[in-house]
Amino acid sequence: MLEELTKIAVEAALKSGEILRKGFGTSFEISSKEGKNNLVTEFDKLSEETIIEYIHSVFPDHVFLAEESGKTGELLKNKVRWIIDPLDGTVNFAHGIPIFSISIAAELNREIISGVVYHPLLDELFVAQKGGGAFLNDKRLNVSDNGDLDSSMLVTGFPYNVNQNPCGCIDHFVNIIKRGIPVRRLGSAALDLAYVAAGRFDGFWEINLNPWDVAAGILLVQEAGGKVSQYNGEQYWIDNDSILATNGMIHSEISSVLTKCLC
């Protein structure tokens, strides 16, 4: 069952990846969603339709929680729910910046059991299965082993209403960079998490993400030996406001920085 879910998630991601690869850099329709910088392109929609259609053709009784179609599949006992971000990094995609991904996760009884994050331009396929480890193109992944926050390489992101400094997100960023720690902002939370799993980053934090941004990525981090929590260290679930994902070794130190100025 788990193997089959993962196989179908991978196939769906590869199909959608082909669409995004072809569409990237062409001229396409771009519109705004809630805020003027929260964009959606025709490729977000096409990618999502392709993924859902394919998974539905194999598992007609499964439900979906997906960003663009408004599908909000109810959580039912013993029923798989697919959580899908068909294009994570839309603002990058719309501006011709080659950093974006597809995120597909399968959830069962409030547990993510399978997760795939795919970077179609680099053909990097990150796959995790509950209890089965995390892989990048079949190579086993492990988080980094750096235990020193000040020599860490970190990544974060900002919500679309960053101008309102929700939960002090600007202050958190300032507090970290003031220490001289390198911090990247890739613009795709799913990739941020996949890169923590791959040991490229030592840690990632962000607020106000949606379940589809993180569902696959958190399983990748956990299966690569990392830790995922809320900023304050409490247990994380995909509808929580804050997420902190690290190699585990810098977790409590960065948590104490992030907890300091929470609103």
Q: Which of 52, 72, 13, 59 is nearest to 239 (CA)?
A: 72
Q: Which of 31, 40, 15 is nearest to 104 (CA)?
A: 15
Among 85, 192, 202, 223, binds Ca ion (CB under 5 A): 85
> Would you put residue 239 in left (φ > 0), alpha (ψ -120 to 50) or beta?
alpha
* Shortest spacing between CB 175 and Ca ion, in angstroms: 25
Residues 6+ apart with CB under 8 A from 164: none
- According to DSSP, the residues that pair with 156 across neighbouring strands are 205
* Shortest spacing between CB 159 and ligand IPD, in angstroms: 5
* Shortest spacing between CB 92 and ligand IPD, in angstroms: 7
Query: What's the rounded Cα separation, in Å, for the pair 224 and 226?
Result: 6
Please list every residue from 192 through 251 that binds Ca ion, using CB under 5 A: 213
157 binds, among ligand IPD, Ca ion, none (CB under 5 to 8 A by kind): ligand IPD
Examine residue 199 and tell whether it contacts ligand IPD (CB under 6 A). no
Examine residue 88 and tell whether it contacts Ca ion (CB under 5 A). yes
Contact track, ligand IPD, 71-90, x by CB under 6 A: --------------x--xxx
Query: What's the rounded Cα separation, in Å, for the pair 205 and 106?
Result: 23
Residues near ligand IPD (CB under 6 A) are 85, 88-91, 157-159, 187-189, 206, 209, 213
